Amino acid sequence: MDIFKRITEHRTEKQKLAWTGTFAEYIELVRHNPGLAKPAHTRVYEMIASQGIDDESGQKSYKFFNQEMFGLDRSIEKLVEEYFHSAARRLDVRKRILLLMGPVSGGKSTLVTMLKRGLERFSMTDRGAVYAIKGCPMHEEPLHLIPQELREEVERELNVRIEGALCPSCQMRLKTEYNGCIEDVQVERVFISEENRIGIGTFSPSDPKSQDIADLTGSIDFSTITEFGSESDPRAYRFDGELNKANRGIMEFQEMLKCDEKFLWNLLSLTQEGNFKAGRFALISADELIIAHTNESEYKTFIANKKNEALQSRMIVMPVPYNLKVTDEEKIYFKLIGQSDMSHIHIAPHALRAAAIFSILTRLKETKKQGMDLLKKMRMYDGEAVEGYKEADLKEMQNEFTDEGMSGIDPRYVINRISSALIRQDLQCINALDVLRALKDGLDQHPSITKDERERFLNFISVARKEYDELAKKEVQKAFVYSFEESAKTLFDNYLDNIEAYCNWGKIKDPLTGEEMDPDERLMRSIEEQIGISENAKKAFREEILIRISSYSRKGRKFDYSSHERLREAIEKKLFADLKDIVKITTSTKTPDERQLKRINDVTKQLIDEHGYCPVCANELLRYVGSLLNR
């Protein structure tokens, strides 16, 4: 790619979007597209909705968040529907501060950053276009030029709502530059940009003794006092506070509850009335979505202080817990590692899953549901079927604890420990055992866990190790079964012949003697037991298979080895059980003969080509599974 050619194209594309005209011309734009005058909350919601919504599973998933946020679908759905959507419809929640409250490294900052970056991109589109009075330090809505007395009539004609008043700077410019002729006032298209301080403001608390309220509301430019003669002259004031610059977009308060009280008082009128006080001016209008974040302990301290009741009543608190799905936790680790310079080191399959299992177990709470332990709960949360439990049980568990996911091991700790494993010298690949070992070693150095928690976490590492052992055996099982694929297909066909005879009260013929025999119950049960089919459930399972075969036949499709997931799993497990001795000998022998060596090479190739292993971790897996089978 020609870098400078692409830069030139990008610059040209942005120049094409530029627009400058008079207020009269802007009115015509609004007449044809009233959506141009949308308020900040509506703009943010439309930005999110414009990316699409997936609700096929019954759980709304907003595609806007899918690339960065994992496992927080329920929290995000609540956030979008109860705050952004309601605020976009001008309901009273738009007059509230959105406070994201959750544990450290839970994704609060990432969520806010996504909203800011998304708003920047959205303002470059036709639907998200933002127009402002040219030269206004607050980039305010041009319709503020309409006198209050005429607004009701103009609103009806243009099908818009006009809220807010001209800032002091534009009031003076209207008189001095345009002689009160609002139709001549220059309007331009602006692009939301945190870097250029347009439509995005960010306030971070610092030392209360040195931090000035001017950081929020702007300040007097004393060098101009002698020129303009008064501190109340707008030309002598810098409208450069974060509240000024966030107008038309998002105002982020980082660690809001660490702020000194005097900084938060400005938010009382800003949230409820849409204006704030600055310098020696009347109240200044501002159209911005205020979003803040904090942790649970600081929030509890805040609400315990009675002096904060007024501000507390102007907040909508949205919990942002840790992710509780193993599959999504893996995605978080892959994303974070992919952003580093260590992405060239191979990570063996299931290595990050083992870490994810440990993390999720530390975040779950013991349910009162009979027979449900943390491991089963973890599997159900991850979308797996657990025998004896239904979808209703899952929803009941999800609603059992309001604070589930607000504690436990954070992703930052796990990534720190994975990093320590990745950074070892001359390392080509890390596997699950390397990761679990690093997690275990790091518990001694963790600054905030108690002795009891450490013991509990060590137990979860052991559970994660056992889960990995099963995954490792299954992985080798698949690779070996592939080498014996013909045997698997023969066993599959044999099972189908027997259940067909069983369900139809028939007989089967011995392939050698031609003698008619009863269905081989022992064979059928040896396969069905591999996937936990009970004696009482065997008839229903067999009939289900025949119904599936009939359905395939009507549609002209062939029912083969991979057509029924559970039956395929049962066949593989049965075959692997029959092959276990061969696997044990093949994987654990130090001096394999020619036949064994060929099998090892075939299985290793299968692991590399089909399962994502490299030569190093494939050989380590075979040795490890061999040791497991020999115990």
Question: 280-308 pLDDT, tens per residue?
Answer: 888 889 999 999 988 888 888 888 888 88
- Specify if 218 maps to a domain: yes
Name the nearest CA neighbour of 621 among 598, 587, 590, 597.
Answer: 587
Q: Cα dihedral sign for 553, 558, 559, 562? A: negative
Q: Cα dihedral sign for 153, 159, 165, 170? A: negative
- Specify if 621 maps to a domain: no
User: Which DSSP symbol is given to 193?
Assistant: B
Q: Looking at the structure, do residues 405 and 455 belong to the same domain, yes or no?
A: yes
> Residues with Cβ < 8 Å from 79, sequence gap 6 or more?
98, 318
- Specify if 540 maps to a domain: yes
* pLDDT value of residue 235: 84
* pLDDT value of residue 139: 95
Write down the mean pLDDT value for the chain: 87
Block residue for tokens 């004896």: 388
User: Which DSSP symbol is given to 283?
Assistant: P
Name the nearest CA neighbour of 381 among 402, 357, 408.
Answer: 357
Q: Quick one: average pLDDT of 532-554?
A: 89
Report the alpha-carbon distance of residue 64 to residue 49 in Å, rounded: 8
Q: Looking at the structure, do residues 36 and 124 belong to the same domain, yes or no?
A: yes
Question: 423-471 pLDDT, tens per residue?
Answer: 775 678 889 999 999 999 888 777 677 888 889 999 999 999 999 999 9
Q: Looking at the structure, do residues 300 and 352 belong to the same domain, yes or no?
A: no
Report the alpha-carbon distance of residue 465 to residue 458 in Å, rounded: 11
* pLDDT value of residue 264: 79
**Is residue 587 pLDDT above 70, yes or no?**
no
Report the alpha-carbon distance of residue 448 to residue 517 in Å, rounded: 68
Of 270, 292, 319, which residue constitutes the final position of a domain?
319
Three-class SS of residue 385? Answer: coil
Q: Quick one: average pLDDT of 200-212?
A: 80
* pLDDT value of residue 591: 67
Of 451, 480, 509, which residue constitutes the final position of a domain?
480
First to last CA, the chain: 57
Q: Looking at the structure, do residues 234 and 383 belong to the same domain, yes or no?
A: no
Name the nearest CA neighbour of 201 among 280, 301, 276.
Answer: 276
- Specify if 504 maps to a domain: yes
Q: Looking at the structure, do residues 240 and 261 belong to the same domain, yes or no?
A: yes
**Is residue 254 pLDDT above 80, yes or no?**
yes
Q: Cα dihedral sign for 41, 44, 47, 52? A: negative
> Residues with Cβ < 8 Å from 514, sequence gap 6 or more?
none
Q: Residue by residue, what is the 3-state secondary structure of 390-436?
A: CHHHHHHHHCCCCCCCCCCCCHHHHHHHHHHHHCCCCCCEECHHHHH
Report the DSSP pairing between strands 315-319 and 130-133. unpaired
Contact 224, 237 (CB under 8 A): no
Report the alpha-carbon distance of residue 130 to residue 143 in Å, rounded: 12
Exposure letters 287-313 (e unless 16+ CB within 10 A, then b): bbbbbbbbbbeebeebeeeeebeebbe
* pLDDT value of residue 272: 82
CATH (domain of 211) = 3.40.50.300
What's the alpha-carbon Rg for the chain, to the nearest Å? 33
Name the nearest CA neighbour of 147 among 232, 238, 36, 23.
Answer: 23
Q: Looking at the structure, do residues 304 and 352 belong to the same domain, yes or no?
A: no
Number of domains in the chain: 3
Q: Looking at the structure, do residues 394 and 521 belong to the same domain, yes or no?
A: no
Q: Looking at the structure, do residues 508 and 427 belong to the same domain, yes or no?
A: no
* pLDDT value of residue 198: 95
- Specify if 171 maps to a domain: yes
Of 436, 458, 480, which residue constitutes the final position of a domain?
480
How much of the chain exceeds pLDDT 70, in percent? Answer: 93
Helix (H) or strand (E) segment spanning residue 500 = helix 485-503
Q: Quick one: average pLDDT of 110-119?
A: 94
- Specify if 602 maps to a domain: no
Lowest mean pLDDT among 14-18, 165-169, 193-197: 14-18
Name the nearest CA neighbour of 161 among 94, 115, 97.
Answer: 94
* Parent domain of 559: 484-579
Q: Looking at the structure, do residues 109 and 210 belong to the same domain, yes or no?
A: yes
How much of the chain exceeds pLDDT 90, in percent? Answer: 38
Lowest mean pLDDT among 305-319, 339-353, 573-587: 573-587
DSSP string, 58-78: SS-EEHHHHTT--S-HHHHHH
Q: Looking at the structure, do residues 446 and 332 belong to the same domain, yes or no?
A: yes
**Is residue 592 pLDDT above 70, yes or no?**
no
Q: Looking at the structure, do residues 136 and 200 belong to the same domain, yes or no?
A: yes
- Specify if 111 maps to a domain: yes
Q: Looking at the structure, do residues 286 and 411 belong to the same domain, yes or no?
A: no
- Specify if 408 maps to a domain: yes
